[in-house]
Amino acid sequence: MEKRSILHMLDPMPNNSPFDVNMAMDAGFDVLVPYSNVKLDSVNRLTQDTIFSRSPAGIKRTGIFIGGRDLGLAIDMLDACQQAMVPPFEVSVFADPSGAFTTAAALVACVEKELKIKHGKELKDSKVLVFGGTGPVGIATGIIASLAGADTYLVDHLSNEAAAEVAKTYNRRFGCALTGVCANNDSDKINLIADVDIIFSAAKAGVQVLNSLVLKEANQLKVAGDVNAVPPMGIEGIKRNDLGVSLTHAINSKDAVGVGALAVGNVKYQLQHNMLKSMLETKTPLFLDFRAAFIKAREIV
């Protein structure tokens, strides 16, 4: 009789995400075991308890999911899991803190596709702004775009110093080339978007980051993507279901188009489902983060 599949869900926060629990169940795991308030120094022990409690055949039906909100900590926990493996006792591990890796991968992949189709342009030839750039989704979006070759700026709404520190931290960690900037008023935003090709909005839900008065000052905008599904939208004029729809407020940018939150969310849902499911289907252990998520997102779109 085949052993039941088990997913151990490690989270440094007080609560595991119901979204992730639902996604894991729908992907086919039989048993979900959530762990909250998990410290980094506990990951080795938890991982080895996971791998040594089943035979090599049984551990192929076992996986570890890492949540939380801190991208750096999630990667540290993923690394700690990988280091704790003792072949042939190895299980697959998937890190997706706050859903940031799959959301960011879906966002960049959707925008990249529209950039190619509508403008014949590549990410590596583009200047990119990420509003909400110091939050989990914004940071992940910036890293993915930068590693794809884009000239990428993380925009914070309060502090140049905070943005610069986040950029420095992740540049050092992942070998990307992020620049941190601040825009706390419309004048700052107008200066930033004047010569930008792509805008990503990953700011807090229900907060409008860019209004029509700002957007009309963009002179070469190609694609804008917004992950905010709570009114008002993060970018005025982009509707939730938009996918390559004309961005009429960007009147000085010919053929600029928008990508809305539900269009991104559709890809994000498929992406997370497929990545969780792959943990049950693989013959060799998988160690999945934003890089694997972006590869799969490109395939989906």
Q: Are 43 and 77 in contact (CB under 8 A)?
A: yes
Q: Is the peptide bond before 18 cis (omega within 30 degrees of 0)?
A: no
End-to-end CA distance of the chain: 38
Residue holding tokens 């700690």?
80
Do 272 and 260 share a structural domain?
Answer: no
pLDDT in tens, 113-132: 999 999 999 999 999 999 99
Do 237 and 280 share a structural domain?
Answer: no
The number of distinct structural domains making up the chain is 2
- What pLDDT, on the 0 to 100 scale, is given for residue 24? 97
Q: Which of 21, 46, 43, 49 is nearest to 34 (CA)?
A: 21
Give residue 256's domain range.
103-264
Do 64 and 107 share a structural domain?
Answer: no
Q: How far apart are CA 85 and CA 83, in angstroms?
A: 6
Do 254 and 228 share a structural domain?
Answer: yes
Do 114 and 40 share a structural domain?
Answer: no
Q: How far apart are CA 201 and CA 261, in angstroms?
A: 10
User: Is residue 169, in this structure, part of any structural domain at all?
Assistant: yes
pLDDT in tens, 175-214: 999 999 999 999 999 999 999 999 999 998 899 999 999 9
Q: Helix H segments across the chain?
A: 18-26, 43-52, 56-59, 71-84, 100-119, 136-147, 160-174, 186-193, 212-215, 261-281, 290-300
- Give the number of other CB atoms < 10 A from CB of residue 197: 22
**Amino acid symbol at 234:** G
**Amino acid symbol at 28:** G
Q: How far apart are CA 43 and CA 63, in angstroms?
A: 14
- What is the reported pTM? 0.96
More confident position, 86 or 57? 86
- What pLDDT, on the 0 to 100 scale, is given for residue 1? 60
